Amino acid sequence: MKIGIYSPYLDTLTGGEFYMLTIAEFLSQKHDVDVFWDEKEILQKGSKRFNLNLDRVNLVKDIFSEGLSAKEKFIKTLEYDRIIFLSDGSIPFLYPKKLILHFQEPFLSKNVPFIEKSKALLVRKVICNSKFTKEYIDKTFGLNSIVLYPPVQKIKPGSKRRENVILTVGRYQPYEDATDFKKISFMIDMFKKLYIENKEWKFKIITSVKPEYESNFDKNILSKIDNSIEIIKNADFDTVQSSYVGSKIYWHAAGFGEDIDQKPQRAEHFGISTVEAMSAGCVPVVINLGGQKEIIEDKYNGFLWESQNELLNYTKQLVNDDELLNNMRENALEISEKFSKEKFCKDLADII
């Protein structure tokens, strides 16, 4: 088959893009696969960032960007057997039985025009990255979508000595109220409270920062750090992997303090970095929201917290109890296998 793949956010190279490029890598083994994008280096960047083999994937003109009429897009896509399209809430005008829509964000009905809801009913299949996302997508579009959990590349714990490090990994996306999507600023504040009684511990932040957010990042994040906090921006795969393997605890706070009923997109839609951390032997202490609840069995392979006090108290339990930390680490390794790249590819083949 000839298959086209499109993500409007491809240049961000975060979790959703790993999802789409893994689809491209897998399908290119047996099919002719095109990725619609205009930046020539994007596949090389994606390959390096995510440790993927994209040599058999073709880069072609982005027909979904501004410039082509709906008719021109429709005609161009006739040459494809399948189009896999990551939706930003919109649905392209093309032959619907070719189209497989992927939603990685829980859109609310009030935010989606009626015409888009109507078009969604005609597409071949709709896939979501979690049950959390599916709940909103099905309600908004009147669908029964398929949950295809994201692929997570297993990171072998190895023999590297673990440091007393709490790690978080995620892109920097600021909001108007001086907070940010991943709540990096909030976690810095929480770590400083923890550090008062645990000065042998450090907090490591790995984040990607787009150029237009640099000044905001400097003002709201860099200005708050001290010697107990390390920040690595725009890290490559090896650096991220080494940080997972060398850390003991993983924090995630996306959605804290937000009205998730009104803004579900502000919770973590799944949590690829949480599973990566688990596969590397980090114990997750993550917020009890969004897709995180589908990853963590509370008090078995990690902790789910709802308040600042719970975040700090659960972390202190792990900091002060090596036996608990080691037991949860083993359980985290076990649960991470549910979200393997191999299972993702097997399920994807059935969907295609």
- 308 vs 109, more confident: 308
**CA 51, CA 121: separation in Å to the nearest integer?**
36
- 29 pLDDT higher than 90: yes
Domain pair 2-151+340-351 / 165-338, same fold:
yes
**pLDDT for residue 181:** 95
**CA 142, CA 134: separation in Å to the nearest integer?**
11
**pLDDT for residue 237:** 82
Query: Cβ distance 291 to 345 under 8 Å?
Result: no
pLDDT-derived band at 74 (thresholds 50, 70, 90) equals confident
Instruction: Report the chain's mean pLDDT, rounded to a whole number.
Output: 92
* Class in CATH terms, 2-151+340-351: alpha beta
pLDDT-derived band at 313 (thresholds 50, 70, 90) equals very high
pTM over 0.85: yes
**pLDDT for residue 352:** 87
Domain residue ranges of the chain, discontinuous segments joined by +: 2-151+340-351, 165-338
- For the chain, give the number of residues: 352
pLDDT per position as a tens digit, 243-277? 999 999 999 999 999 999 999 999 999 999 999 99
Of 131, 106, 102, 107, which is closest to residue 21 (Cα–Cα)? Answer: 102
pLDDT per position as a tens digit, 138-186? 999 999 999 999 998 888 887 778 999 999 999 999 998 889 999 999 9
262: Cβ contacts below 8 Å, ≥ 6 apart:
108
> Once rounded to an integer, what is the mean pLDDT over residues 125-139?
96
165-338, CATH topology level: Rossmann fold (3.40.50)
Q: What is the DSSP letter of 218?
A: H
- 96 vs 260, more confident: 260
Q: Which helix (H) or strand (E) is 117 found in, with range? A: helix 114-120
pLDDT-derived band at 94 (thresholds 50, 70, 90) equals confident
Query: Cβ distance 302 to 332 under 8 Å?
Result: yes
pLDDT-derived band at 115 (thresholds 50, 70, 90) equals confident
